[in-house]
Amino acid sequence: MALTPEQRTAQRKIVGTLNLKSHMWFEPTGEFCIWRDERASTDWGAGIPELSKHFDALEVPYVVRMEVVNTGKRRKAGFTLVVQRNDLPALTRWVPSFQKQIDNVQAELNKSIPN
Protein backbone atom coordinates (compact mmCIF):
# COMPACT_ATOMS: atom_id res chain seq x y z
CA MET A 1 0.00 0.00 0.00
CA ALA A 2 1.47 3.33 -1.03
CA LEU A 3 1.12 6.07 1.55
CA THR A 4 0.15 9.58 0.62
CA PRO A 5 2.51 12.32 1.82
CA GLU A 6 -0.16 13.33 4.35
CA GLN A 7 -0.38 9.78 5.72
CA ARG A 8 3.41 9.47 5.89
CA THR A 9 3.67 12.73 7.88
CA ALA A 10 0.77 11.73 10.14
CA GLN A 11 2.33 8.33 10.84
CA ARG A 12 5.69 9.88 11.78
CA LYS A 13 4.01 12.39 14.10
CA ILE A 14 1.88 9.76 15.84
CA VAL A 15 4.84 7.41 16.29
CA GLY A 16 6.78 10.30 17.85
CA THR A 17 3.88 11.22 20.11
CA LEU A 18 3.41 7.63 21.32
CA ASN A 19 7.13 7.31 22.02
CA LEU A 20 7.01 10.35 24.32
CA LYS A 21 4.46 8.65 26.59
CA SER A 22 3.69 12.00 28.18
CA HIS A 23 0.13 12.55 29.43
CA MET A 24 -1.09 9.25 27.99
CA TRP A 25 -2.91 6.45 29.74
CA PHE A 26 -5.33 3.58 29.34
CA GLU A 27 -8.67 3.73 31.11
CA PRO A 28 -9.83 0.61 33.02
CA THR A 29 -12.20 0.03 30.09
CA GLY A 30 -9.22 -0.25 27.73
CA GLU A 31 -9.69 3.14 26.09
CA PHE A 32 -6.42 4.86 25.15
CA CYS A 33 -6.19 8.55 26.08
CA ILE A 34 -3.86 11.42 25.18
CA TRP A 35 -4.33 14.62 27.20
CA ARG A 36 -3.05 18.12 26.49
CA ASP A 37 -3.74 21.27 28.51
CA GLU A 38 -5.39 24.22 26.80
CA ARG A 39 -2.21 26.24 26.35
CA ALA A 40 0.18 23.41 25.44
CA SER A 41 -2.44 22.04 23.10
CA THR A 42 -1.19 24.35 20.36
CA ASP A 43 2.27 25.42 21.57
CA TRP A 44 4.56 22.63 20.40
CA GLY A 45 2.66 21.08 17.53
CA ALA A 46 1.50 17.95 19.32
CA GLY A 47 -1.70 19.38 20.67
CA ILE A 48 -5.15 17.93 20.21
CA PRO A 49 -5.94 19.94 17.03
CA GLU A 50 -2.77 18.65 15.35
CA LEU A 51 -3.18 15.11 16.66
CA SER A 52 -6.80 15.09 15.45
CA LYS A 53 -5.64 15.96 11.93
CA HIS A 54 -3.12 13.12 12.01
CA PHE A 55 -5.66 10.62 13.32
CA ASP A 56 -8.10 11.79 10.62
CA ALA A 57 -5.47 11.33 7.89
CA LEU A 58 -4.87 7.76 9.08
CA GLU A 59 -8.59 7.09 9.57
CA VAL A 60 -8.16 6.16 13.23
CA PRO A 61 -11.52 6.66 15.02
CA TYR A 62 -11.38 8.87 18.11
CA VAL A 63 -13.38 11.31 20.20
CA VAL A 64 -12.20 14.46 21.97
CA ARG A 65 -13.50 15.42 25.38
CA MET A 66 -12.83 18.35 27.67
CA GLU A 67 -11.25 17.22 30.89
CA VAL A 68 -9.60 18.54 34.05
CA VAL A 69 -6.66 16.47 35.28
CA ASN A 70 -4.36 16.63 38.29
CA THR A 71 -0.83 17.64 37.31
CA GLY A 72 1.26 17.65 40.44
CA LYS A 73 -0.58 19.73 43.02
CA ARG A 74 -2.66 21.61 40.46
CA ARG A 75 -5.71 20.83 38.41
CA LYS A 76 -5.50 21.86 34.76
CA ALA A 77 -8.17 22.06 32.10
CA GLY A 78 -7.47 20.55 28.73
CA PHE A 79 -8.59 18.14 26.07
CA THR A 80 -8.31 14.38 25.85
CA LEU A 81 -8.20 12.47 22.58
CA VAL A 82 -9.71 9.02 23.20
CA VAL A 83 -9.42 5.90 21.05
CA GLN A 84 -11.99 3.29 22.05
CA ARG A 85 -10.71 -0.20 22.87
CA ASN A 86 -12.34 -1.73 19.78
CA ASP A 87 -10.68 0.90 17.55
CA LEU A 88 -7.11 0.28 18.74
CA PRO A 89 -6.33 -2.01 15.75
CA ALA A 90 -6.79 1.03 13.50
CA LEU A 91 -3.98 2.68 15.47
CA THR A 92 -1.65 -0.33 15.61
CA ARG A 93 -2.01 -0.65 11.85
CA TRP A 94 0.13 2.51 11.66
CA VAL A 95 2.20 1.94 14.81
CA PRO A 96 2.67 -1.84 15.15
CA SER A 97 5.06 -1.45 18.10
CA PHE A 98 2.20 0.05 20.15
CA GLN A 99 0.60 -3.42 20.31
CA LYS A 100 3.06 -4.38 23.07
CA GLN A 101 1.70 -1.61 25.33
CA ILE A 102 -1.86 -2.65 24.54
CA ASP A 103 -1.03 -6.28 25.39
CA ASN A 104 0.57 -5.22 28.69
CA VAL A 105 -2.53 -3.21 29.62
CA GLN A 106 -4.81 -6.10 28.64
CA ALA A 107 -2.78 -8.46 30.84
CA GLU A 108 -3.15 -6.05 33.79
CA LEU A 109 -6.88 -5.72 33.17
CA ASN A 110 -7.23 -9.50 33.05
CA LYS A 111 -5.44 -9.81 36.42
CA SER A 112 -7.92 -7.43 38.02
CA ILE A 113 -10.95 -9.43 36.87
CA PRO A 114 -11.93 -12.04 39.48
CA ASN A 115 -12.27 -15.58 38.14
Look at residue 91 and tell me if it is in a domain.
no
Which secondary-structure segment (H or E) carries 98? none
Q: 90 in a domain, yes or no?
A: no
**Partners of 25 in the beta sheet?**
33
* pTM, rounded to two decimals: 0.84
In angstroms, rounded to a whole number, what is the distance separating the alpha carbons of residues 115 and 110?
9
- Does 42 map to a domain? yes
Q: Structurally, how many domains does the chain consist of?
A: 1
User: For the sheet containing 74-83, what is the strand order?
Assistant: 24-26, 32-37, 74-83, 63-71
Determine, yes or no, domain membership for 66: yes
| pLDDT per residue as tens, the chain (115 positions) | 688 999 999 999 999 888 877 789 999 888 999 998 876 555 555 688 889 999 999 999 999 999 998 878 888 888 999 999 999 999 999 999 999 999 988 888 778 776 6
Q: Is residue 59 part of a domain?
A: yes
CATH of the domain at 55: 3.10.28
Instruction: For residue 28, give its domain range.
Output: 5-85+96-112
